[in-house]
Chains A and B, each alone.
Chain A
Amino acid sequence: MRKVYFDHNATTPVHPEVAAAVQPFLGGSFGNPSSIHWAGRDVRKAVEDAREEMAAFYGCRPLEVVLTSSGTEADNLALKGVAYLEGNAGKHIVTSQVEHPAIINTCRFLETQGFRVTYVPVNRQGIVDPESVREALAADTILVSIMAANNETGCLMPIGEIGEIAKGAGILVHTDAVQATGKIPLPWETLPVDLLTFSGHKINGLKGAGGLLVRKGLELSPVVHGGHQERGRRGGTENVVGIVGMGTAFSLLRKNMDAEVAQVRGLRDTFERALFDRIPDLVLNGHPTKRLPNTVNLSFRYVEGEALLLNLDMLGIACSSGSACTSGSMEASPILLAMGADPTDAQGALRFSLGLGNTEEDVSYSVDAVERVVAKLRAMSPLYHPREAM
């Protein structure tokens, strides 16, 4: 059976060059990067080379890169690191209703610790209005955290404008760029943000490595207390394999990002257009253009997301539904509900996220498969066949 991977926003395949680059660190190069002897020295160099690749990609200084175990940890460090900074008087944080759980649940925790959080809404297209951020600012706001791109819809947030507003008020700005990295330009030099989160496994690196860009001069309280690693901002012996892999992933992006984005955008557009041509009663969840080049989130009206997902899985197609299917009651995605989607439509939403390795054959196979599966489930749906008057 053909296998099609259309879930790159969940995670991406490891690039063969990444796999090759980490090999020495699974064998002979085992030293602790903090050791000054021969065993540690080469490994330290590999970690610092990787850091330089990341810095070169964003155009920041290597010492502005704080390496973490994940995007989630970097988000925690950004929020808690600012909130718990010694001497910090402010108690108010502004974020949005459609952030990743790494942000939302960290904010919910901070709310139990005496902080106030404003969750600004999004419009029907899934985008935060910068004016709503401006209105949310209070005298004691210490941080604005708005994602660069949403993981479920791919919507691009106006972080430039939002950043200017916050900086104008002297407030720190964080952006979760886990999904945006490698897909849209993020020039650190001109971006009005102080903190930026990224994650290795979303850019064809390895799982368990991420990082936070921290603008030079900005102090943060560590979240993981320990040794002097990462200049005291994150304790713990480095995940050398993950870091080296991430460095290679960034160096590949620097070379290939434009071509890859153009290729993936072409495939995504073809896929999206074909589905709209062939399947009636489709709803696009998200903005038609202000969107990541690889993502399309669609509601197939009258059918339910998990049923679609399982059928497509049986045909070898991996994609994702926003429903929290593990939570018991298949609740519709909070992100789609925050956008004002009809709850029944939100239940029939599927996210297709394309990436490196996808082909035109993947697209045509999947269009046929989705069309067939939707027809099959609609034939079964009482909503598609309204009850006749009796």
Chain B
Amino acid sequence: MTAGPYSAKVMEHFMNPRNVGEIDGADGVGEVGNPACGDMMRLYLRIEEGRVKDAKFRTFGCGAAIASSSMLTEMIKGKTVEEARAVTNLQVAEALDGLPAVKIHCSVMAEQAVKSALDDYAKKHPG
């Protein structure tokens, strides 16, 4: 089902977001805000043997922001830390079958959240 400006894939992830919640004793937590609109995303990562074992999120934001958060968690699970860090917002948007031009910025929050969570992980696990 499409609605307003969004693809069916966006609506599917928006209505049934994967991996909502938090991880107790997460190995990395990232929190980023979108200065353009005041929206916010928090990402929790469980990392084992250099790979993203689990990812959960909480997002305050528009449909595109929630769908991007959901898609991102699906994309990074199983990836190595390096691979996860390389995920870009455009890859997230592409995986969602595109976002309206005015909503591309919403996927940026997802990219930044991974980097922020991985920075947190690196700080907690030096070396």
Contact = CB atoms under 8 A, between A and B. Distances in A.
A307 B61 contact: yes
Contacts of A328: 36, 102, 105
Question: Chain B interface secondary structure, helix, strand, loop or mixed?
Answer: mixed
A88 interface: no
Interface stretch (B14-22, B45-53, B75-83): B14-22
Contacts of B6: 310
B31 interface: yes
Interface string B16-42: 010010100000010100001111111
Contacts of B39: 304, 330, 347
A310 B60 contact: no
A228 B31 CA distance: 64
A190 B38 CA distance: 46
Interface stretch (A89-97, A202-210, A232-240, A379-387): A379-387
Given A302-B60, A382-B31, A382-B41, A314 B20 contact: no
Contact of B20 (A343, A347, A379, A387): A379
A332 B59 contact: no
Nearest to B35: A329
A304 B39 CA distance: 8
A329 B11 CA distance: 19
A385 B1 contact: no
Nearest to A383: B60
A258 B40 CA distance: 46
Contacts of A343: 38
B113 to A, nearest CB: 10
B36 A380 contact: no
B38 A310 contact: no
Contact of A380 (B4, B20, B31, B62): B20
Contacts of B9: none
Interface string A310-339: 110110000000000111111110000000
Nearest to B37: A330
Interface string B69-109: 00000000000000000000000000000000010010000
Contacts of B37: 329-331, 347
Contacts of A326: 102
- Which of A329, A379, A390 has its CB near the most chain B CB atoms (within 10 A)? A329
A303 interface: yes
Given A302-B60, A304-B39, A328-B102, A310 B14 contact: yes
Contacts of A385: 22, 58
A306 interface: yes
Contacts of B22: 385
A112 B4 CA distance: 35
B110 interface: no
A121 B105 CA distance: 32
A344 interface: yes
B4 A332 contact: no
Given A307-B63, A330-B39, A387-B42, A382 B102 contact: no
B66 interface: yes
A313 B42 CA distance: 26
A218 to B, nearest CB: 43
Contacts of B63: 306-307, 310
A306 B62 contact: yes
A304 B14 CA distance: 13
Contacts of B61: 304, 307
Contacts of B60: 302-304, 380-383
B40 A382 contact: yes
A343 to B, nearest CB: 6
A382 B58 CA distance: 5
Contacts of A306: 62-63
Contacts of B3: 310, 313-314
Nearest to A327: B102
A332 B37 CA distance: 8
A390 B29 contact: yes
B29 A307 contact: no
A380 B38 contact: no
Given A310-B3, A343-B38, A382-B60, 5 more contacts: A304-B61, A307-B61, A314-B11, A325-B62, A382-B41
6 contacts: A330-B37, A380-B58, A380-B60, A380-B66, A382-B59, A385-B22
Interface of A: 302-304, 306-307, 310-311, 313-314, 325-332, 343-344, 347, 379-383, 385, 387, 390
Q: Top 3 nearest A-B pairs by Cβ distance?
A: A329-B36, A328-B102, A382-B58
